[in-house]
A and B are shown apart, each in its own frame.
Chain A
Amino acid sequence: MTERKALLLVGSPRGIDRSSSGRLGGRLLDALKERGFETDKLHVHAVVRSPTETERALIAIESAGVVILSLPLYVDSFPAPVIALLERIAERRTGAGRVRFLLLIQCGFPEREQNATALAIAERFAAEVGWEWLGGLAFGAMENHGGSATEVLPRIAAAIADGKPIPEVALKRVMPAWFYRLGGNIMWRRQAKKNGVTRRLRAKPYAD
């Protein structure tokens, strides 16, 4: 019955409940639960801090039919602790030949295409470890909120539950990139002002 077990790995340093990755993955997990899946969640950063927790996670992965990795894009790839866990999985080929693998990834830039390298790494990981690559859902900045995700995640859950290919989804652009850059730059100034560091925003502490 392992194929009806779904495990969410949250790869954000902010944890399961306080991160967009956790909330987004949680919504997919809820949709799978409604379709009769047994579900569980793990926070990758907590898992890799302790060998005991890593062992527990590997056992959970071994018994899962579906693994969903939900994370923020970090410098074109995954946060370091996520790569560390994937390395442990690959060493043992945990879940080889059985796990179906899906990636949910969110980029801090408005162009979701910037997730492409990370998606390729995830697919390569799946090939090397012997997991079935279901595909990835890549979001640009702020695209994970409301509309598109609400519409898309239940369709993905349905495809996973029915053993069908993950449907191609067309996410709606939230805003033009130039507008995001403008708004983002205003936001950085506001946050710096709140912290009393406006004048130091362009500081160069490591200049010669």
Chain B
Amino acid sequence: MSYDLDTMNALVLDGFRGVEGQSILAVLTNALAQSGYGTEVVALRDKTIAPCLGCFGCWIKTPGECVIDDEGRSVARAAARCDLLVYFTPVTFGGVSSELKKAVDRLIPNISPFFARVQGETHHQKRYPHCPSLIGLGILPQPNREAEAIFKTLVEHNALNFRSARTAAAVVALDGTSDVAAIARGLIEAVAR
């Protein structure tokens, strides 16, 4: 995974188990391209990413890198270098899918173990001076206000934990009631520099 340093780079983590979200993903990547982003999509279903061991080795044994040598490392590397990280996921009980979460759990090497007070709460200090903005685009079969609210709060809080520069989240319903292109544009505009 290499990025063009002259353009803004987006990394889309596709957390679908199958290809059912692909038409919406195409709208999203098109909106990113129109906004000047070079975009890489990682279909996590095709990646071998072991669960986080909870060992803190990425902080105190091999600082900045997970002790597990698998594709979780390359996703973390790409996430550290991009300008915009995008969660693309079926909304799962208001949260993200297990496919997406297996990668998100392995992103913690990208933050420092040291604690800091951020917006009145304890979080971690940054490891890198530049932290990508975070967008969450969740997909639901039909609108569900409760699930949508949980998802937005989750993405917002993840952004605090990853010290994201900016953040925005939205949920698209597959029942045809959502204007996907407008939602995608709105998310990108919300995190624009």
> What is A's interface to B at a CB cutoff of 8 Å?
12-14, 45, 72, 74-81, 83-84, 86-87, 90, 109-111, 113-114, 116-117, 120-122, 124-125, 128, 177-178, 180-181, 184-185, 188, 191-192, 195, 197, 200-208
Contact = CB atoms under 8 A, between A and B. Distances in A.
B154 A205 contact: no
A84 B98 contact: yes
23 contacts: A74-B105, A76-B154, A79-B105, A80-B102, A81-B51, A83-B97, A87-B92, A113-B121, A114-B157, A116-B153, A120-B94, A121-B94, A121-B154, A122-B93, A124-B94, A124-B147, A185-B114, A192-B60, A195-B60, A202-B112, A203-B63, A205-B64, A208-B81
Contacts of A110: 122
A205 B154 CA distance: 28
B117 A83 contact: no
Interface in B102-158: 102, 104-105, 107-108, 110, 112-117, 121-123, 127-128, 146-147, 150, 153-154, 157-158
A196 to B, nearest CB: 9
Contacts of B63: 192, 197, 200-203, 205
B172 interface: no
A76 B54 contact: no
A76 B107 CA distance: 13
A91 B12 CA distance: 26
A37 to B, nearest CB: 27
Contact of A206 (B54, B80, B114, B157): B80
Interface residue SS majority, chain A: helix
B117 A181 contact: yes
Given A83-B92, A109-B123, A204-B64, A181 B154 contact: no
Contact of B81 (A116, A128, A206): A206
A201 B150 contact: no
Contact of B150 (A124, A184, A207): A124
Given A45-B51, A206-B77, A208-B81, A201 B113 contact: yes
Contacts of A125: 93
A178 B64 CA distance: 25
Nearest to A85: B98
